[in-house]
C-alpha cells in the first residue's frame, strides 16, 4: 500500500513539475524579462510542489496554518490548470499569427489568454461556493401510495476538511432545513480524507435530525471512497451521535419503502456486491432506493431488482477541461437522471469540491426529488 502511494504521489508531482515548467516557459517567451528574476523562478518551483506538500501534511494535521496552506495551494492548483490552458492557447495563436503574417505582439497574445484564465478562475471560485437546488420528479413502479408527493433531498461529495469546513456544512444543513424534505440522503464522500474536527463537522446534522419540519423520516448516509482514508472510529462516532443513520450494507424499511445502502469499498468487487444485495432479500414487488457512492455496478443493481440508484463521485469533472474527460469516462451516467434498463439512476455533481475549490462547466448542487 505504501509503495503504491509513493508511486502515485511521484507521478502526480512529475506531472505538476512539467505543467509548471511549461507555464514558466510561456511566461518567459511572451513576457520576456518578467520571468528573469530568481524570485519568479523560485515561486514557480515552490508552487509546483505546494499541493502535494499540503496534501501530505494535511492528512495528519488540522492546525490553522496547515489548513491555510492547503487552501492556498488548492486554489492555486485550480488557477494553474487554467494558466496551462492559457499557455497552450498563447502558443497556438502565436503560431497562427506568424503563419498568417498578422504580426500580433506576443505580449498582447499572452495578456488576453492569461486575463481570460484569471477571470475563469475567479468565476470558478465563486461558482463552487454557491450550491444550487436542483429539482427533479421521479416516478417509481410499485411506489407505496403514502410516498407519492413526498420529497427526498440528496447531497453528496461535500468533502469536508481543510477547504470546506464547519461553516460550509452549516450552510448546507440550513438549505436542507429550508427545503423541508421528508427524508435526506448523503451519498458518500462527506469527508475529504484529510484531518478534521469531526465533532464540529458532525454537529450541524443534529439540527436537521431534530427538526420537526425537515427530514422527518430520517437522514441516511453511506461512505464513499474518501472515507477510506480514515478508520471508522475517527469520523463515525460523532456522525452517529448527531442522529445520522449509517446504512452498513443493509436494507431498512422507511414507511413501506425499501432504502438500501452499500459502502463504496464493498461494491468494488462485483461478486461481493451481488452477494451483499442478495443477502438483503429485496422485495422486487416494491419500490427500492439504493445509495451507492459511484454510478457503478448498474447491471447488478438492475438484475437484483433495484428501482432507483442515487450516486455522486464523478463531480462531472468539476472544472473544464476535465469535464470532457469525465463525460467520456462515465458517459450518460456522468450527471443527471438516466435509465439503465428498468433501473433509474441519478448522479449528482456533488455539493462540495475535491482539490481545487473551483467549478467551471459544473455546479455544486443539492437535489430535491419529488416522487410521483
pLDDT tens by residue, 212-256: 999 999 999 999 999 998 999 999 999 999 999 999 999 999 999
Across the chain, which distance is largest between two alpha carbons, in Å? 73
| Three-state SS at 158 | coil
pLDDT tens by residue, 38-63: 999 999 999 999 999 999 999 999 99
pLDDT tens by residue, 274-299: 999 999 999 999 999 999 999 999 99
Share of the chain above pLDDT 90, in %: 95
Pairing of the two strands 250-254 and 257-262: antiparallel
Contacts of 168 (CB under 8 A, 6+ apart): 158, 160, 352
Cell 476535465 identifies what position? 322
pLDDT tens by residue, 4-16: 778 888 999 999 9
pLDDT tens by residue, 164-217: 999 999 999 999 999 999 999 999 999 999 999 999 999 999 999 999 999 999
The upper half-sphere exposure of residue 32, i.e. CA atoms within 13 Å in the direction of its Cβ, equals 5
- The answer to whether the CB of 168 falls within 8 A of the CB of 311 is no
Can you give the three-state secondary structure of 118-132, one letter per residue? Answer: HHHHHHHHHHHCCCE
Q: In terms of residues, how long is the chain?
A: 372
Chain-centroid distance of CA 310 in Å reads 14
| CA gap 300, 4 in Å, rounded | 30
- The answer to whether the CB of 19 falls within 8 A of the CB of 86 is no
| CA gap 357, 148 in Å, rounded | 37
Which DSSP category does 244 fall into?
P
* Residue 3 confidence (pLDDT) above 80: no
- The answer to whether the CB of 308 falls within 8 A of the CB of 347 is no
pLDDT tens by residue, 289-327: 999 999 999 999 999 999 999 999 999 999 999 999 999
What are the cell numbers at 273? 456486491
| CA gap 347, 264 in Å, rounded | 14
Question: In 10 A of CB 3, how many CB atoms?
Answer: 7
Question: In 10 A of CB 195, how many CB atoms?
Answer: 22
pLDDT tens by residue, 109-159: 999 999 999 999 999 999 999 999 999 999 999 999 999 999 999 999 999
∠ CA(284), CA(290), CA(293), 5° rounding?
Answer: 155
End-to-end CA distance of the chain: 47
Name the residue ranges covered by the structural domains of the chain: 2-127, 132-371
What is the b/e burial string over 254-268, where b = at least 16 CB atoms within 10 angstroms of the residue's CB? beebbbbbbbbebbe
| CA gap 301, 321 in Å, rounded | 31
Residue closest to 315 by CA, chosen among 332, 336, 334: 334
Give the pLDDT band of residue 1 (cuts 50, 70, 90): low
| CA gap 330, 89 in Å, rounded | 27
Which pTM does this prediction carry?
0.93
pLDDT tens by residue, 63-98: 999 999 999 999 999 999 999 999 999 999 999 999
Residue 71's pLDDT is: 96
| CA gap 368, 303 in Å, rounded | 27
The CATH number that domain 132-371 falls under is 3.60.21.10
Q: How high does pLDDT run on average in the chain?
A: 95
What are the cell numbers at 25? 516557459
Amino acid at each position: 500500500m505504501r509503495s503504491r502511494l509513493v508511486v502515485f504521489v511521484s507521478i502526480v508531482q512529475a506531472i505538476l513539475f512539467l505543467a509548471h515548467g511549461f507555464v514558466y516557459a510561456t511566461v518567459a517567451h511572451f513576457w520576456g524579462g518578467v520571468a528573469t528574476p530568481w524570485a519568479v523562478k523560485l515561486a514557480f518551483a515552490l508552487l509546483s510542489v505546494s499541493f502535494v506538500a499540503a496534501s501530505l501534511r494535511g492528512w495528519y494535521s488540522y492546525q490553522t496554518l496547515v489548513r491555510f496552506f492547503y487552501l492556498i495551494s488548492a486554489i492555486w492548483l485550480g488557477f494553474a490548470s487554467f494558466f496551462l490552458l492559457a499557455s497552450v492557447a498563447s502558443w497556438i495563436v502565436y503560431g497562427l499569427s506568424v503563419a498568417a503574417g498578422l504580426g500580433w505582439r506576443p505580449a498582447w497574445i499572452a495578456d488576453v489568454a492569461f486575463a481570460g484564465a484569471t477571470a475563469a478562475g475567479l468565476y470558478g471560485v465563486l461558482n463552487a461556493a454557491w450550491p444550487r437546488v436542483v429539482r427533479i420528479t421521479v416516478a417509481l413502479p410499485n411506489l407505496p401510495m403514502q410516498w407519492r408527493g413526498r420529497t427526498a433531498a440528496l447531497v453528496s461529495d461535500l468533502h469536508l476538511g481543510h477547504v470546506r469546513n464547519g461553516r460550509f456544512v452549516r450552510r448546507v444543513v440550513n438549505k436542507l432545513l429550508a427545503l423541508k424534505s421528508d427524508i435526506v440522503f448523503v451519498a458518500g464522500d462527506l469527508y475529504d480524507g484529510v484531518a478534521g474536527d469531526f465533532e464540529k463537522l458532525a454537529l450541524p446534522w443534529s439540527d436537521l435530525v431534530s427538526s420537526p419540519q425537515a427530514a422527518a423520516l430520517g437522514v441516511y448516509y453511506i461512505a464513499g471512497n474518501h472515507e477510506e482514508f480514515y478508520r471508522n472510529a475517527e469520523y463515525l462516532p460523532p456522525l452517529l451521535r448527531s442522529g445520522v443513520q449509517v446504512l452498513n450494507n443493509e436494507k431498512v424499511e422507511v414507511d413501506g419503502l425499501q432504502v438500501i445502502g452499500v459502502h463504496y469499498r464493498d461494491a468494488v468487487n462485483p461478486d461481493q456486491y451481488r452477494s451483499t444485495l442478495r443477502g438483503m432479500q429485496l422485495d422486487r414487488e416494491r419500490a427500492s432506493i439504493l445509495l451507492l457512492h459511484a454510478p457503478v455496478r448498474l447491471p447488478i443493481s438492475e438484475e437484483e431488482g433495484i428501482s432507483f440508484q442515487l450516486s455522486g463521485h464523478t463531480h462531472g469533472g468539476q472544472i473544464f477541461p476535465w469535464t470532457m474527460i469525465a463525460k467520456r469516462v462515465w458517459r450518460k451516467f456522468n450527471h443527471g437522471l438516466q435509465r439503465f434498463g428498468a433501473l433509474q439512476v441519478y448522479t449528482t455533481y456533488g455539493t462540495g469540491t475535491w482539490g481545487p475549490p473551483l467549478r467551471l462547466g459544473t455546479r455544486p448542487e443539492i437535489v430535491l426529488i419529488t416522487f410521483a
